[in-house]
Structures are given as structure tokens and as C-alpha cells.
Amino acid sequence: MTSDRSAPPRIVRLTGPIFPPSLHEVKQIESRGWTLTTVAGTSPDQIIPHVSDADIVSVVGTYIPAQVIDAMTRVRAIARLGAGTDRIDVAHATSRGIVVMNTPYFCVEEQADHTMAMILSLARKLPLSQRAIESGKYAEARAASATNPRLSRTTLGLVGFGRSAVHTARRARGFGMRVLATRRNMSAPTDEADSLGVVMTDLDTILRESDFVSLHLPLTRGSRHMIDADALSRMKPSAYLINTSRGALVDEHALVKALHAGQIAGAGLDTFAIIEVLDESGPPDAHPLMHMDNVLLSPHVAAGSDRSGMDSVDAGIENIGAILGGFWPVPEHRVNPEVVPRVPLIDREAR
């Protein structure tokens, strides 16, 4: 692979239909003397002509399959502005010596806030109350409120105990909730959990004992559909499922059946497998869970705030600057640390 490294680094930003660079992002790139090319197309045929001579490909929600990666003959790294990388063929990028980076912590506060907002809304039956107001069925809402749980007498189960879950636990403890949590590495230190009064346990215990089960983990082969019909059958009939992480963590068809059968009390979903929330042309009745009084839906907006977008850009720019300077990004931002990079990199700490 040969290229002219004396020219200004070329950043190709895949924007998809709804994620153009912000003014802040453009200014950050221009201030460093890098060139920026934006690509709105989402098909491989539309993307490939632009990425072949890029130094860095930056992306929010566009799919990057193997076909596109094979065209990246010069690319040093794929910079994901956000946490999840399930839309990128990371294994193929690794085989081609391309570093994959993300910004996993830009919205942990927002995700925790959104999770708690869903918990509170479902506990207080606000979706039902909203529809009661709209239809004039006020007595229905008053009757339903008699079964609202007192939050300080409930248990929250966190599936995954990364930063968003830690922030959620801190908020839940403030409401007096008992908090359980599980994670893949159960032998990891529990100092943070202990300081918050969080009990680390196994998934089965969380499903059996929790009044609210909240998902806080990435989508991988091992986690896909981890909340399936069997898992739902182990939850309490009075329990609610909350998902602000990745839609395919839940078998949504099984969830629909469980809700219609009264197997669980309700659900709050911000991410979906059935709905493509990045497609603005989606029909208004795109999901069988719509118009249910015990279901709260939001279109993948748990990350949004007046700060999170800027934080994601700043972390992404830091990642790009590290690669272009010959350094690895910080360990927490390395998606494929096992990759042998096309251009040798060193750890800043090793200098």
C-alpha cells in the first residue's frame, strides 16, 4: 500500500440520511488542517468511490460491510462517533489491518436519565394516563393508579454493569430502589457496586426478582436475543422490561406475545430490531407494540442532549488525531485491540 502522506489527511464522513456533521464537528476538523468529505449515500456503490483514498472513515449510523472495507485501500481507521459497532464488519476490518474506534461514554448520563424516565413513566402508568386524557376516560386512569408500585419498594435489575448502568444504579438508589446487577465478567472487582449498594448476581436471579429489568450491554453474537421467550417467562408478571441499548438484544416477537398474554406488565423501548428508526419514511404503525397502554416507545433518542453530541465528536476527533499522529487511541476506545495496524502505532504511555 502506497500513498502520499505529505498531503493533508483526508477524513471521509459517512452521514447516512440523518446524521450530517455538526458545525462543531466541521470546525474541529478544519482547525486541524484535515480535509473533510461527506457522503450521504448508504449503499456500497455510493460509498466505495469515496473511501478508497481516505485516511480515516468516520461514521455514525451507516452500515460498513466487508465489500466497503475491501475498497479501503488506504484507510488507517474507522472512527465510530458513538458506542455500538454492530453496523461495522469489525472482524473484516481487523483482517485488513484497519483499526476500529468508538466513543463509548459520550451519553452515559443521558442513557441513565432516559432509563429512569421510562421506569418512572411505566411505574406511574403515564402512557395509559395520557390516552385516558385524550379519550376522556379519566376513571380508567384513576382505577389503574391504585396498582402503581411504590418505587422505594421495588427492585431494579441491571443486565450489564458498564458506565451507563452505574449511573442508572446511582439514580435508582436515590429513589430508594433495591438494585441488582450482572455482567459478563463476574470475577471483576465489585468496589463500585459495593459503594452504591448494588448486589452483583446472576441473570436468572435478576429475571426472577426484579420489578424492572434494564439492559445495558452491547449487541454481540452472544447477546443477540438474550431476552427471548424463555427469559421473559422467568420474569414476574408485574415486571417491566427496559431497553435503551440495542434492539436485537430482545426477541421482539416473543415480547409482543408475552405482553399480550399478560406474562409481564409492560415495556419501555428506545431501540428496536423491527423498526429501522434511522429511516425517516417509516410508517406510523411500524411496530406491533404501538398503541399499548403498558408500553412506552421512543425512537433511539436516549443518547440525545445538548452536550452528548459534542462529547461524541470531541472523543472521535481525539481518536482520529491519535491515529494520524501514530498513536493508539485510549484503550477504552479500541474496538479491535488485537488488530495489526497498517501503519505502526505506539501507546502514548510508552513514549
Catalytic residue set: 246, 280, 300
C-alpha cell at 110: 443521558
C-alpha cell at 58: 468516520
Continuous segment of H or E residues that includes residue 266: strand 266-269
Between β-strands 10-14 and 240-243, what pairing exists: parallel, antiparallel or unpaired? Answer: unpaired
* Inter-CA distances, 103 with 130, 189, 333, Å: 36, 24, 6
Return the closest-CA partner of residue 268 out of 308, 218, 304, 302.
Answer: 302
Distance between CA 32 and CA 19 in Å, rounded? 22
Strands (E), 128-218: 155-159, 178-182, 199-200, 212-215
C-alpha cell at 213: 429489568
Q: Is 33 left (phi over 0), alpha (psi -120 to 50) or beta?
A: left
Cβ 266 vs Cβ 213: under 8 Å: no
**Within the chain, what is the greatest distance between any pair of CA atoms?**
73
Return the closest-CA partner of residue 296 out of 238, 350, 219, 242.
Answer: 242
